[in-house]
Structure 1
Amino acid sequence: MKRMILAMAALGLAACVPQEKPTGAEDFAAFCSSCHGAGGKGDGPMAADLEHKPADLTGLSRRNGGTFPKLRVMAKIWGYTGGKNGAAIMPNFGPLLDSPLVPYDSGDGIQSPTPERLVQLAEYVETLQKK
């Protein structure tokens, strides 16, 4: 009985320990790499089974005049851009990335509350850009 009480107390304390949030790289590995590939080239293990080839994320800056389109990337990940008539090819990852809000300036000088994990994921995708 004493062991059971100690075990229950330990479990209760473990629930109080804050869980570490995933990094942008960890979220990319969990949510993106199966289609976009570990390096973001659109060559993930699921890519061959999809009707449309996943985007090569390594060329986003090049295709945007040398500037990484972070706001567009975040909108696509979150699910704001649903494609033609809302028929998105890429799933909406917003609910999976729900996290505390942090101030984010998309370049207009206005700090907008944005989910922290979304910002981190977009920042990670930015590191995949070919120079």
Structure 2
Amino acid sequence: MKGHFFSILVCIVGGAVQTTADEVPADGGMLFEKHCARCHGTDGTGNGNASGNLNTRPPDLTKIAARRDGVWPMLEVMSIVDGYTKQTTPREEMPLISALTDGPVVEFDTGNGLFTEVPARLIAVANYLESIQSPKPERYVP
């Protein structure tokens, strides 16, 4: 299932979220604080309390778009957060956080008229990370 889900995401273009009226997306900031801030810091800059115990310092998550020339890579961010790709070094200490991939799903608008169900919490965290980019993204890619 996980491999299939990732394959779908890699082939997708776009990145808007569409939910139905009875679906309430999770709060990405709260999820980040609960599951990510220990290492990445409450501000996302990589200075969390546990960061000193790691072999590799956690990256500054406020500079994802800046490191990509102003582009916000929604699907890449989602695939890193959900742990499906551990191809980019260094990520061996990045845990798989099932709390972000379990639970309710929402339809994810792929940007080309196709929708796929994606964990609401995963999208919420990715949207939160987009909101803390400094400088703000200039362009968007899937």
Task: Please give the TM-score of this superposition, normalised by the length of structure 1.
Answer: 0.75
Structure having the larger proportion of residues in helix: 1
Q: Which has the larger radius of gyration?
A: 1
| Distance in 2 between residues matched to 1:65 and 1:106, nearest whole Å | 22
| Distance in 2 between residues matched to 1:41 and 1:65, nearest whole Å | 18
Aligned residue identity for 1:117: R
| Distance in 2 between residues matched to 1:34 and 1:106, nearest whole Å | 31
Is 2:106 the counterpart of 1:102?
yes
Q: C-alpha offsets along residues 78-119 of structure 1, whole Å, 9 cap, x if unaligned?
A: 1111237xx7320111x2121221111344543221001110
Q: Select the residue among 62, 65, 73 that pairs with 2:69.
A: 65
Unaligned runs of 5+ in 1: 1-19
Is 2:82 the counterpart of 1:78?
yes
Q: C-alpha offsets along residues 28-84 of structure 1, whole Å, 9 cap, x if unaligned?
A: 000010100111101111111110000110110111221211111111111111237
> Percent identity over the alignment?
36
Larger RCO, structures 1/2 (Cα 8 Å, 6+ apart): 2
CA RMSD of aligned residues (A): 2.0
| Aligned residue pairs, count | 109
| Distance in 2 between residues matched to 1:24 and 1:119, nearest whole Å | 8
Q: Is the 8 A contact 1:36 1:57 kept in 2?
A: yes
Q: Is the 8 A contact 2:26 2:124 kept in 1?
A: no
Q: Select the residue among 69, 93, 98 that pairs with 1:89.
A: 93
- The residue aligned with 1:111 is 115
Aligned residue identity for 2:103: S
- The residue aligned with 2:134 is 130
Structure having the larger proportion of residues in strand: 2
Runs of 4 or more above 2 Å deviation? 105-110
